[in-house]
Amino acid sequence: LGIDAEEHPYRGSAFEPHVKLHLDAEDFRLWMHFLFTAIDDSFAGPVASDWKKRAEQMGMLFRHKLGLPLD
Q: Quick one: pLDDT at residue 13?
A: 83
Write the CA distances from 14 to 27, 30, 40, 43, 44, integer angstroms: 16, 18, 24, 24, 26
pLDDT in tens, 29-42: 999 999 999 999 99
Rounded to two decimals, what is the model's pTM?
Answer: 0.71
Give yes or no for a contact between 68 and 21, defined as CB atoms under 8 angstroms apart. no
Average pLDDT, the chain: 85
